[in-house]
Amino acid sequence: MKPVYFDNAATTPMRDEVVNAITEVMKNNFGNPSSSHSFGRSSKSLIEQSRKTIAGYLNVSAGEIIFTSGGTEADNLILKSAVKDLKVTKIITSKIEHHAVLHTVEALQKDFNITVNYVNIDKKGHIDFSHLESLLQGSEKTLVSLMHVNNEIGNILDLERAATLAKTYNALFHTDAVQSVGHYKMDLQDIPVDFLVAAAHKFHGPKGVGFAFIRKNSSLKPLVLGGEQERGLRAGTESIHNIVGLEKALKLAFNNLTSEMLYVKELKQYFINKIKTEIPDVKFNGDCVNDEKSTYTLVNVCLPVLPEKASMMLFQLDLKGIACSKGSACQSGSSKSSHVLAEILSEEDLQKPSIRFSFSIYNTKEEIDYVVDVLKTFIEH
């Protein structure tokens, strides 16, 4: 069996068309986009075309798209400037956010003495909207930061409901949409978010590039100082080839969205059915078996394995050529357990191995058969 890659929530393989587009730009468009000569103008026009394309898919204006090095930088830019420049004194978030948000919020609390409230979540990992509304009461300048699709358990937030609720109480709304952009259609004229972030490598684009949607007249200030690139919000010479790669990847994702979503959905359902049949004691974390409330790209399972054997599980899967994750990739190299699962699982289930399997168009049912067989053998011996 060739190696099986089931860690697409961490990063996705680049499409050939994206690699070709990037290579073409690296060879032929090397001018600095800030230069006024023809080489610079050629590079600048590629960036602006990419910005326009991305804005079109989200139904926003091109000036509201700011290119960054990825989701983490975009989250930092928005959260830090909201506190420093927009004078936000209260942030409402959840304990199951990505660390790009959680660690930034913790640092802001320490440095600026802001109030941080964590909205309650239920045992499936969903936001308690009545608690969110109660937290929004009061006169403090508030920002709500809640991710659209959870990167570990796949739960989908009702973005329109959350953003509209925030607006009702005059709060700003930020969402980390790294796991959803490129996988779902979004109309930001209908959804009143102020800030949204995305990363190209989650939808078969290059690493090291992403974008922030920053609604016009937001008055944010840059995190990185220097030149006037990116509407003055992100200094530094733009990575033209990566930006074009991001545009190409997003274009292909949206052009093929219906058929590819159907294919990956079928894979996920096949995995669920197969593992339930072969390992009847398996549990599913969060709401990942619910088609309506969870993304179609991932499953997070809690396996019936004794704690002393659990630590060997990922190692054994790796030996068999299987790539998956015990949590988000940003923490899977550490021995710490998942902060997301710690919020929703019982003490007993936290002792068992929980593994995230995430799928893409490049996966097959044969790979699922192989992986489930390897899991079953490991559990039984």
DSSP annotation of 122: -
Is 324 designated active site? no
Given this model, what pLDDT does residue 69 score? 97
Q: Tell me what pLDDT residue 335 has.
A: 55
Please give the pLDDT value at position 326: 81
Decide if pLDDT at 183 tops 90. Answer: yes
- Annotated catalytic residue, options 288, 302, 324, 330: 330
Give me the percent of the chain exceeding a pLDDT of 70: 97
Q: What pLDDT is attached to residue 257?
A: 98
Contacts of 181 (CB under 8 A, 6+ apart): 196, 198, 202, 203, 250
Distance CA 200, CA 70 (A): 7
Structure confidence at residue 2 as a pLDDT band (50, 70, 90): confident
Helices (H), 203-281: 240-255, 257-278
In the predicted model, what is the mean pLDDT of residues 165-192?
97
The mean pLDDT of 346-369, rounded to a whole number, is 95
The pLDDT mean for the chain works out to: 95
Residue with tokens 């995190």: 223
Task: Say what the pLDDT of residue 312 is.
Answer: 86
CATH 3.40.1160.10 fits 16-255, yes or no: no
Would you say 167 and 195 are in contact if contact means Cβ atoms under 8 Å apart? no
Query: Is the pLDDT reported for residue 39 higher than 90?
Result: yes
β-pair type (298-302, 283-284): antiparallel
The predicted-structure confidence for 52-104, as pLDDT tens digits, reads as follows 999 999 999 999 999 999 999 999 999 999 999 999 999 999 999 999 999 99
Residue 339 has what pLDDT? 95
Whether the per-residue pLDDT at 332 is higher than 60: the answer is: no
Residue 329: pLDDT over 60:
no
pLDDT (average), residues 292-313: 92
What mean pLDDT comes out for the span 357-366?
A: 98
Tokens of 33: 């986009």
Does position 358 have pLDDT exceeding 50, yes or no? yes
- Between residues 308 and 17, the one the model is more confident about: 17
What pLDDT was estimated at residue 317? 93
User: Where exactly does CATH 3.40.640.10 map onto the chain?
Assistant: 16-255
d(Cα 34, Cα 378) in Å, to the nearest integer?
A: 57
Model pTM? 0.95
* 115-118 and 90-93 beta bridge pairing: parallel
Boundaries of CATH 3.90.1150.10 in the chain?
4-12+256-380
CATH architecture of 4-12+256-380: Alpha-Beta Complex (3.90)
Give residues with Cβ within 8 angstroms of 341, minimum separation 6: 152, 153, 285, 300, 327, 350, 354
DSSP output for 306-356: -HHHHTTHHHHHHHTTEE-BSS-TTTTTSSSPPHHHHHHS-HHHHTS-EEE
pLDDT at 132: 98
Q: In what order do the strands lie in the sheet with 65-68?
A: 65-68, 210-214, 195-199, 172-176, 142-145, 90-93, 115-118
pLDDT at 333 over 50: no
What is the per-residue pLDDT for 381? 84
